[in-house]
Structure 1
Amino acid sequence: MRVTGGLLIPESELSERFSRSSGPGGQGVNTTESRVELSFDVARSPVVPEDLRDRLLARLGHRLTDGVLTIAASEHRAQRRNRQAARRRLADVLREAAAPPPRKRRPTKPSRGARERRLAEKKRRSEIKRTRSDGIDRE
């Protein structure tokens, strides 16, 4: 399963568990094990580069249990479709967590025109408030 250009997770690294799902399915909901739990061991996987592993562990810390990321899918009636949905969701979560951090913003100063507009607006508001306190109605 391809996650990013540099990260390819082999099927042998994924483990699946199936269980009975709640939700749609009619009478078959009590007999078919269509819910899928897909697990991937982020902390101990040999295919994840060390620098990427650190980033994944830091960003996914709240979703990991002992370094293992688990995704559950039960929105479809068919086990096959839930397996596809779980794989797609796992790839999306890993792709988002593996994305490099955004570039740091370069601080800038307001332009001369922006400063002048700001001061002009302050003067205008000040004048409005000053005329209110005069008690003079200048319509």
Structure 2
Amino acid sequence: MALIISNSVTLPESEIELTAIRAQGAGGQHVNKTSTAIHLRFDIRASSLPPFYQERLLAMSHHLITAEGVVIIKSQEHRSQEMNREAALNRLVALIREAVKVEKARRPTRPTKASNQRRLEGKSRKASTKALRGKVR
């Protein structure tokens, strides 16, 4: 089974280390007996991702990526281990897709003459209102 990142990039699940751990928080006796939380570890450098993907992920300043280039995701929001496993894998895919998304370059624009005029009229209106608040002589 492989995770589909994009049309041309897939990630074999053998490169992802999934460990079941005990979840924190409320849940009564159930939370103390069962290991429903999932701890996901993914080594970026040792993966079969294309070099572009690896570079973008390693350059990313994200709390889920360690200095050694390992992605660590802990999923414990669901009561079942299978749903937590699915959530962790989805978060990994979302992180990789976010890293390789190329932002469109912003082209700086100038304000129109009419918008400038409206802004200046608003400023002068506000100034005259404030000027009328002074003491009456």
CA drift of 1:61 comes to 4.7
Secondary structure, counterpart of 2:42 in structure 1: strand
In the TM superposition, 1:75-114 aligns within 5 A as 75-100=77-102, 102-114=103-115
Of 71, 74, 94, the residue aligned with 1:72 is 74
Secondary structure, counterpart of 1:71 in structure 2: strand
In the TM superposition, 1:32-43 aligns within 5 A as 32-43=34-45
Please give the per-residue CA displacement for 1:52-110, whole angstroms capped at 9, x wherever unaligned: 2111111245422211101111222322222112111221222222211x222211111
In the other structure, the counterpart of 1:27 is 29
RMSD (Å), alpha carbons: 2.2
Identical residues among aligned pairs (%):
38
AA matched with 2:105 = K
Please give the per-residue CA displacement for 1:86-135, whole angstroms capped at 9, x wherever unaligned: 111221222222211x2222111111111221222222223223333362
Mapped contact 1:39–1:70 kept (Cα < 8 A): yes
AA matched with 1:133 = G
- Distance (Å, rounded) in 2 between the aligned partners of 1:56 and 1:41: 11
Report the structure number with the largest CA radius of gyration. 1
AA matched with 1:96 = E
Segment of structure 1 superposing worse, 71-80 or 58-67: 58-67
What stretches of structure 2 of length at least 5 have no aligned partner? Answer: none
Mapped contact 1:44–1:67 kept (Cα < 8 A): no
Between the two proteins, the alignment pairs up a number of residues equal to 134
Structure number having the greater helix percentage:
1
The alignment's TM-score, normalised by the length of structure 1, stands at 0.80
AA matched with 2:9 = L
